[in-house]
Amino acid sequence: MKHIFQIVVVSVLAALFALPAQAAKYQEMEVADGGSISGQVTYTGKVKMRTVLPTKDKDVCGKARKEPTILVGEGGAVQDAVVYIKEIASGKAWPEMARPVINNVDCIFEPRVQVAKRGKVDILNSDPVLHNSHGYYGKATAFNVALPFKDAKVTKILKRNGVVRTDCDAHGWMLGWVVVVPNPYHMQTGADGNFMIDNVPPGDYTLVVWQESVGETEIPISVQAGATTDASVQLN
Ligand SMILES: [Cu+2]
């Protein structure tokens, strides 16, 4: 009896510990009768500006200026929003994704916003001044690299999914973002604010729309075989 009890306890513990790991691991499979999710990300509120005030290396970093905290184009279209399915256990194969690069150019992170898969990231300095790129998952450091001279390059690993904010410890106004997505069902919006995510297995999901100043907006969606679900969202 005691023996059986031990087996049950061990099995229950094993199942408990295995669950989160399985939930995090995305399985690639053949998708039959997939549906699509499409829409547009818009914003009609007042666009807040932030002040960029270079206090040193001004010959490289430029003058004081203001920049929008959200890129809004015609009809309220939001650029550089990242749209992805929050949780999906299995589905289409990951596409070929180039290794992400965080480039320091004129004291600006290029690109400002990008999407990546867990794995390596190259951090580059294209400026003749010291940058110290410091990435965070929330408050936890993701990487912290000094790039003392032009063409310095360091490769780091983005170990988990989530939003990585990059600051520069040398230039407090610098700001960049890498959204490490959990599955291949994602898209970063361009100037038209549109997104299109295809080959989704039919089912109910939560769509996440992330934008750097708004944060995450979650939308419940239902995908039907061979159909397109409209998931247009107005951020506020
Ligand atoms: Cu810097």
CA of 198 to the centre of ligand 1 (A): 38
How far apart are the C-alpha atoms of 46 and 40, rounded to whole Å? 18
Q: Is the per-residue pLDDT at 185 higher than 70?
A: yes
Q: Is the per-residue pLDDT at 14 higher than 70?
A: no
CA of 148 to the centre of ligand 1 (A): 10
Which CA distances in Å does 60 have to 2, 14, 48, 55?
72, 55, 26, 11
Listed in sequence order, the DSSP H helices in the chain are: 2-24, 58-61
> What pLDDT, on a 0 to 100 scale, did the predictor assign at position 66?
97
Neighbours of ion ligand 1 (CB under 5 A): 131, 168, 170-171
Q: How confident is the model at residue 11 (pLDDT cuts 50, 70, 90)?
A: low
CA of 178 to the centre of ligand 1 (A): 17
> What pLDDT, on a 0 to 100 scale, did the predictor assign at position 25?
86
How far apart are the C-alpha atoms of 236 and 231, rounded to whole Å? 16
CA of 63 to the centre of ligand 1 (A): 15
Q: How confident is the model at residue 22 (pLDDT cuts 50, 70, 90)?
A: very low
CA of 176 to the centre of ligand 1 (A): 11
Quote the mean pLDDT of the chain. 93
Q: How confident is the model at residue 71 (pLDDT cuts 50, 70, 90)?
A: very high
CA of 46 to the centre of ligand 1 (A): 29
- Which domains does the chain possess? 30-235 (2.60.40.420)
Q: Is the per-residue pLDDT at 20 higher than 50?
A: no
Q: Is the per-residue pLDDT at 23 higher than 60?
A: no
CA of 106 to the centre of ligand 1 (A): 9
CA of 98 to the centre of ligand 1 (A): 24
